[in-house]
Chain A
Amino acid sequence: MLRRDQVIDVLKREMSDSVLEISELRSATIVSVDPRSLPRVSIALVALGARLRMMVASDERPWRACFSLYYIYAFDREGTNIIIHAPLDPDRPTAPSIVDLVRAVDWYELEARDLLGIEFEGRPPAPRFILPDDWPEGVYPLRKDVSVEQLRALYKPSPLEEARLLGAEEIVRIPIGPYHPALHEPEYFELYVRGEKVVGARYVGFMVHRGIEKLGESMKYDQVPFIAERICGICGFVHSTSYCQAVEDALGIEVPERAEFIRSLILEIERVHSHLLWFGVALHLLGYDTGFMHVWRIRERVMWLAELLTGSRKTYGLNVVGGVRRDIDRDRLDKARQVVKELRKEFAELVKITIDVPQVRARLRGTGYLSPGEAQVFAVVGPTARGSGIDIDVRKDFPYAGYKRIRPRVAVYSEGDNLARTLVRVDEVFESLDLIERFIDEMPGGAIRAEKIEYEPYRIGIGSVEAPRGEVIHMVITGSRTPYRWRVRAPTYQNLIAVPTMLRGVDLADAPLTIASIDPCFSCTDRAIVINVATGASRSVSLREIVRRRR
Chain B
Amino acid sequence: MDPILVLASILLTLALVAMPPLIDGVERKVRASIQSRIGPPIIQTWLDLMKLLAKEIKLPESSELAALTALLSVVISVALLCCLAVFTAVRMVSVGAALAIVMLIASLHGLSLLTACTTANPFAAVGSFRRVALTIVNEAGLLLSIALALYSIQISSRSLVPLAISAAMLAISGFANSGRLPYDLHEAEPELASGTVIELSGPLLAAEIYSHLAERMALTALPMYVLFAALAKNLVVRCLGFLAGSIGLWLVFAVTSTVLGRSRVDLAIRSLGAVYASMAIAWTGAVLLC
Residues of B within 8 A of A48 (CB): none
Q: Is the CB–CB distance between A287 and B188 below 8 Å? A: yes
State the majority secondary structure of interface residues on B. Answer: loop
Q: Is the CB–CB distance between A509 and B188 below 8 Å? A: yes
Q: How many Å from the CB of B271 to the closest CB on chain A?
A: 9
Residues of A within 8 A of B126 (CB): 508
Report the interface size for chain A: residues with CB under 8 A from the other chain.
29
Q: Is the CB–CB distance between B35 and A509 below 8 Å? A: no
Q: Is the CB–CB distance between A293 and B266 below 8 Å? A: no
Residues of A within 8 A of B263 (CB): 359, 362
Q: Is the CB–CB distance between B189 and A512 below 8 Å? A: yes
- Minimum CB distance partner of A288 in chain B: B261
Report the interface size for chain B: residues with CB under 8 A from the other chain.
26
Query: A289-B35, A293-B35, A293-B36 given as contacts; is B191 within 8 A of A357 (CB)?
Result: no
Question: Which of B35, B188, B193 sits near A290, CB closer than 8 Å?
Answer: B35
| Binding-face segment, A105-113, A176-184, A216-224, A434-442 | A176-184
- Verify if A285 is at the interface (C-beta below 8 Å from B): yes
- Verify if B230 is at the interface (C-beta below 8 Å from A): no
Most buried by A among B261, B265, B267: B261
Q: Is the CB–CB distance between A179 and B191 below 8 Å? A: yes
Q: Is the CB–CB distance between B34 and A290 below 8 Å? A: yes
Q: Is the CB–CB distance between A294 and B189 below 8 Å? A: no
Query: A294-B36, A357-B259, A359-B262 given as contacts; is B182 within 8 A of A512 (CB)?
Result: no
Q: Is the CB–CB distance between B189 and A181 below 8 Å? A: yes
A362 to B266 Cα, complex, angstroms:
12
Q: Is the CB–CB distance between A285 and B191 below 8 Å? A: no
Residues of A within 8 A of B182 (CB): 287, 359
Interface string of B248-282 (1 = CB under 8 A from A): 00000000001111111111000000000000000
Q: Which of B109-142 contact A (CB under 8 A)?
A: 123, 126
A422 to B36 Cα, complex, angstroms:
24
- Verify if A510 is at the interface (C-beta below 8 Å from B): yes
Residues of A within 8 A of B35 (CB): 289-290, 293-294
Residues of A within 8 A of B185 (CB): 509
- Verify if A283 is at the interface (C-beta below 8 Å from B): yes
- Verify if B146 is at the interface (C-beta below 8 Å from A): no
A181 to B265 Cα, complex, angstroms:
18
A196 to B185 Cα, complex, angstroms:
12
Q: How many Å from the CB of B28 to the closest CB on chain A?
A: 12
Q: Is the CB–CB distance between A509 and B189 below 8 Å? A: yes
- Verify if A104 is at the interface (C-beta below 8 Å from B): no
- Verify if B181 is at the interface (C-beta below 8 Å from A): yes
A358 to B256 Cα, complex, angstroms:
13
Residues of A within 8 A of B233 (CB): none
A287 to B262 Cα, complex, angstroms:
5
Q: Is the CB–CB distance between B261 and A286 below 8 Å? A: yes
A359 to B188 Cα, complex, angstroms:
13
Query: A293-B35, A357-B260, A509-B265 given as contacts; is B181 within 8 A of A287 (CB)?
Result: yes
Q: How many Å from the CB of A80 to the closest CB on chain B?
A: 43
Residues of B within 8 A of A285 (CB): 189-190
- Verify if B24 is at the interface (C-beta below 8 Å from A): no
Residues of A within 8 A of B34 (CB): 290
- Verify if A360 is at the interface (C-beta below 8 Å from B): yes
Residues of B within 8 A of A196 (CB): 265-266
A359 to B37 Cα, complex, angstroms:
23
Question: Which of A181, A283, A293 sits near B37, CB closer than 8 Å?
Answer: A293
Q: Which 9 pairs show the lowest CB-CB distances between chains A and B?
A: A287-B262, A359-B261, A288-B261, A293-B35, A360-B261, A509-B264, A286-B261, A181-B191, A357-B261
Enumerate chain A interface residues (CB-CB to B < 8 A): 179-182, 184, 196, 283, 285-291, 293-294, 297, 357-360, 362-363, 507-512
Known: A181-B191, A289-B35, A290-B259. 19 other contacts (CB 8 A): A179-B123, A179-B190, A182-B190, A196-B266, A287-B188, A288-B261, A288-B262, A290-B31, A290-B258, A291-B261, A357-B260, A359-B262, A360-B261, A362-B264, A507-B265, A509-B262, A511-B189, A511-B191, A512-B189
20 contacts between A and B (CB under 8 A): A179-B123, A179-B193, A184-B190, A285-B189, A287-B182, A287-B188, A288-B262, A289-B35, A290-B31, A290-B259, A293-B37, A357-B259, A357-B260, A357-B261, A362-B263, A362-B267, A363-B262, A507-B264, A509-B185, A511-B189
